[in-house]
Structure 1
Amino acid sequence: MRELISNARCVLFDFDGPVCRLFAVHTAESIAHRLRELAAELSVTSLLTPELRASPDPHQVLRGIARRNPPPGVVHGLEEALTREEVSAAASAHPTPYAAALIAALSTRGRQVAIATNNSPRAADAYLRRHDLAGYVGGRVHGRTGDVALLKPHPDSVLRALASTGGEPHSSLMIGDSTADQAAARAAGVPFLGYAPDEAAAAAFAAEGARHVVRSLEQVLTALIAPTFG
C-alpha cells in the first residue's frame, strides 16, 4: 500500500462512494422513480424494459433509455433532471470516513487530486464546496457530459481528470468503489485501488481480479502519512 500511494503523483477519486455517500438521504431509488415518471411525461415509457422499470439505479435508467434510440431531446431532459436531483442530494450526502482527511493530506503533500465520476460535476462541486474541500481539488472535477455513452466503464472522465493534473498514467492512481471504475482506470492505463466497504463490493473486485482493495480509506491515509525509517 505504501509503495502504491508513494508512487502516485496524481490521485483520481470517483465521487459517490470514495468521497461521500451521495444518496444517503435523497435516495437513488427515489431518483430512479422520478426519471421513470419523467419518461412517462415525455411519452417514452415504451423504452423502459422490465429491468429498467425495476431498477433502483438512476444511471442505469438514463443509460438504458439512451441506448434505445429515444426521440431528440429526451436524453437531455432526463440528464438535466438527474443533475438537479444529484445537486439536491449533495446537500445531504454523508462523508465517506477518512476521505476528507485523505484528500487534504494528498494535496498538502504535493499530489494533484482530481475527481472522475459518472455523477454531475455540479453535484461534486457543490459537495466539495460545502465540505471545504474545493481548494484541494482546484477545479479538477470531471463528471457526466451530455454523451451518456461516455459514462464509466468508458475511460473518458478518467482521461479528462488525468489531463487536468498534467500527470502520466503510470504515476497516477484511481480510487473507485466499482468494477466500472476499475475498467475505466485499466483502459486509461492508470493503477487502481478498490474501495470496498462491504463484502459484496469486495467480492465483485475479487471476481474482476483487482490487485489492491481496501475496506477503509484509513488504510490509505495511514500509508500516506506514516513515517519511513531506514
Structure 2
Amino acid sequence: MRHLIESAKAVLFDFDGPICHLFQGRSLAPLTERLRHAVTSFAAEGEAGREVWLPETDDPLEILRAAFQQPALVERGIARDIERALTDEEIAAAPGAFPTAYADALVRTLAATGRRMAVTTNNSQQAVERYLETRLTGELFAGRIHGRNAEGELRLKPDPDCLLRALKSTDTPAREALMIGDAPRDLEAARAAGVAFLGYARNERKSEQLRAAGAEHLVDSLRDVVMVVDPGAHV
C-alpha cells in the first residue's frame, strides 16, 4: 500500500463511500421504488410497457442502468427522465451527506503534497459539486469532477469512462495514478483503465466483496492513507 500511495501523482476518488455517505441514514429502497414506479408508469403510456424489465434491487443506479439498456425507454426519453429524477435526489441529499472519516484531511494533505485529484463516480457531477462546496474543498477538484454523463450514452462503472476522463483532466499517465474506491465496480474500472487500486472497506461486508473481486490492497480507515502521505500529520 505504501508504494501505491507514494508513487501516485494523481489520486482518483470514488465519491459515495471514500469521500462521503451520500444517503447516510436513509434506506435506498423508497428511492429505488420511486424510480421503478416512474419507469413502469412512463412505459405504460405506450407499447414500450410490454418490453420493460427491471432488476430486483435496492440500488437506484441499477434501475438507471437497466433503463438505459432498453431501446424503447431510451428512444421515448424515459431513461433520461429517470436520470434527471435521480440527479435531483442526489443534489438534494448532498448538503446532508455524512463525511467519511479522515476524507477531508486526506484531500487537503494530498493537495499540500502536490498530488492532483479527481472524482470518478457513477453519481451526478452536480451532487459532487454541491457536497464539496459544503466542505470547502471544491476548489481542490475544480474541473476534475467526472460523474455520469448527462448526455449521450450512459457509461457507468465498471466502464472505465470516468477514469479515462480523469486521467485526461489531471494530465496523468495511468501508471502514475491511483484510484480509491469501495466497490468491485470501482476495481473493475481501475483495471480496465490501467490504474492502480486501493480499496476502502469500512466494514466486513465491503472487505469481503472487494477481496472476492480480487482487490489486493485494502484499508478500513483513510487515516492510514493520510499517515502514508504525511507521516507527521496530526489526525
On the 8 A contact 1:25/1:93 being kept in 2, the answer is no
Matched residue of 1:113: which SS? Answer: strand
Give 1:130 deviation, angstroms. 1.1
Query: Residue in 2 aligned with 1:89?
Result: 93
Taking a change above 3 Å as real, the CA distance of residues 147 and 17 of structure 1, as seen in their structure-2 partners, is farther
Give the residue type in structure 2 aligned to 1:110.
G
Displacement of 1:92 after TM fit? Answer: 1.2
2:158 equivalent in structure 1: 153
**Which position in structure 1 is the counterpart of 2:78?**
74
Which of 117, 123, 135 is residue 119 of structure 1 equivalent to? 123
2:197 is matched with which residue: 192, 198, 204?
A: 192
For the aligned residue pairs, the C-alpha RMSD in angstroms reads 1.5
Indicate conservation of the 8 Å contact 2:167/2:173, yes or no: yes
Distance 2:215 2:134 in 1: 33
2:165 and 2:53 mapped to 1: Cα distance? 31
SS in 2 for 1:200: helix
> What displacement does 1:160 show?
0.4
Kept after mapping to 1: 8 A contact 2:121/2:147: yes
Structure 1 residues not aligned, in runs of 5+: none
Q: What is the TM-score with the length of structure 2 in the denominator?
A: 0.90
Alignment partner, residue 63 of structure 1: 65
Q: What is aligned with 2:42?
A: 42
* Aligned sequence identity (%): 42
Q: TM-score, normalised by structure 1?
A: 0.92
Matched, 1:12 2:12: yes
How far off is 1:34 after superposition? 1.6
Shift in Å at residue 143 of structure 1? 0.4
Secondary structure of the equivalent of 1:91? helix
Pick closer, same or farther for the CA change 1:148–1:4 going to 2, 3 Å: same
Q: Deviations over 1:88-110 (max 9, x none)?
A: 11121100000011001001110
What residue is the counterpart of 1:183 in the other structure?
188
Structure 1 residue 27: Cα displacement? 4.0
CA displacement, residues 23-64 of structure 1 (integer Å, 9 cap, x when unaligned): 114542222122122113313565244xx3x42100011111
Q: 1:5 to 1:28 in 2, by over 3 A?
A: same
Q: Match for residue 214 of structure 2?
A: 209
Task: Check whether the contact 2:183–2:206 (CA below 8 A) recurs between aligned residues.
Answer: yes
Q: Which residue of 2 aligns with 1:98?
A: 102
Of 166-175 and 201-210, more deviation after overlay is shown by: 201-210
C-alpha displacement of 1:208 = 1.8
The question of 1:23 aligning with 2:28 is answered no
More divergent stretch after superposition (160-169 vs 35-44):
35-44
Residues 31 and 60 in structure 2, CA contact (< 8 A), matched pair in contact too: yes
Question: Given the superposition, is the C-alpha separation of residues 137 and 166 from structure 1 closer, same or farther in structure 2, using an over 3 Å criterion?
Answer: same
Moved more, 162-171 or 64-73: 64-73
CA shift, 1:69, in A, is: 2.3
Structure 2: gaps (5+ residues): none
Q: Bigger CA drift: 38-47 or 119-128?
A: 38-47
Specify the code of the residue in structure 1 equivalent to 2:98.
H
Distance across 2 between alignment mates of 1:136 and 1:29 = 33
Q: Return the letter of the residue paired with 2:57.
A: S
